[in-house]
Structure 1
Amino acid sequence: MNDSPWPNFAYSELRCRCGVCDSTGREMEPAFMTRLQRLRDAFGRPMPLASAYRCARHPIEASKTAPGEHFDGRAVDVRCRGADALALLRLALPLGFNRIGIHQKGHERFLHLAISPNGGRLPSPAIWSY
């Protein structure tokens, strides 16, 4: 059962997966999640998440000089590849996702989709590859 206000994203899949914190998934920014749900509605197919919220102790966040967008609850990594990745990218841009990372090699392929305010601590708009 999905107890979140977003029909296609349960709190359980939004929580930090570090294994040491007590994240519930409710740390995600509601405005970001509303936009992510709009993207899911437009895409019309499942968007499995490789990562959503990450606490400051999550190994990836802890290795940074300052926690990133996942910590702020304004980023997800969507597992996708090939034509699905391109379709998501095309739908995400007009919805205002302005920080996009593309990882399309190897076994774990995904799109990092985030929203960061212009003039904030992270450059935006920005696109990069892993």
Structure 2
Amino acid sequence: MSNTRWPNFSAKELRCKCGKCGSDGSEMQPEFMDSLQQLRERFGKPMVLSSAYRCRRHPEEARKAEPGEHAMGLAVDVQIRGADAVQILHLALNLGFTRIGISQKGNSRFIHLGRAPIGGRLPSPALWSY
């Protein structure tokens, strides 16, 4: 665990995993992280993050015409499935996460939780499946 103001999330799991940029996890937006910490406390169980901050050189971001929420420090992907996924979805909606993507088939099951500015280039609120 971390000694930051978000005790359930370590800098290691928040940093970019491209291996080229020197990210340290501090790129995540504090207001977003406050909401994520609140979500974790209400969920009451560990939340495994498969992705958090991504620099513009990260393979996922490099494919995009413009960087997404991960590159703005405004999104995470939580590895989760089944009833726990339904609970996270319910809690996230009540905590004001405005961009939610759901992948609940195959081996890569996760929920994308994001918060893009309303009126920005990314449609918000938005709910989608992968």
TM-score by length of 1: 0.98
Tell me what 2:64 maps to.
Answer: 64
Is the contact made by 1:16 and 1:52 (CA closer than 8 Å) also made in structure 2?
yes
Deviation at 1:124, TM superposition (A): 0.5
Counterpart-to-counterpart distance in 1, 2:5 and 2:12: 13
Matched, 1:31 2:31: yes
Matched, 1:76 2:80: no
The aligned length equals 130
Counterpart-to-counterpart distance in 2, 1:56 and 1:3: 27
Counterpart-to-counterpart distance in 2, 1:63 and 1:125: 23
Counterpart-to-counterpart distance in 2, 1:4 and 1:28: 13
Deviation at 1:36, TM superposition (A): 0.2
Is the contact made by 1:53 and 1:75 (CA closer than 8 Å) also made in structure 2?
yes
Greater alpha carbon shift after TM alignment, 1-10 vs 32-41: 1-10
Give a deviation string over 1:8-57, Cα, whole Å, max 9, x none. 00111100000111000000000000000000000000000000000000
Tell me what 2:123 maps to.
Answer: 123
Deviation at 1:2, TM superposition (A): 1.7
Matches within 5 A, 1:4-43: 4-43=4-43
Give the letter aligned to residue 76 of structure 1.
V
Counterpart-to-counterpart distance in 1, 2:58 and 2:124: 24
Greater alpha carbon shift after TM alignment, 25-34 vs 1-10: 1-10
Counterpart-to-counterpart distance in 1, 2:2 and 2:38: 17
Give the aligned CA root-mean-square deviation in angstroms.
Answer: 0.8
After TM superposition, which residue ranges in structure 1, 4 or more long, deviate above 6 angstroms?
Answer: none
TM-score by length of 2: 0.98
Give the letter aligned to residue 104 of structure 1.
Q
Matched, 1:52 2:63: no
Deviation at 1:3, TM superposition (A): 3.4
Identity of aligned residues (%): 64
What residue ranges of structure 2 are gaps of 5+ in the alignment? none
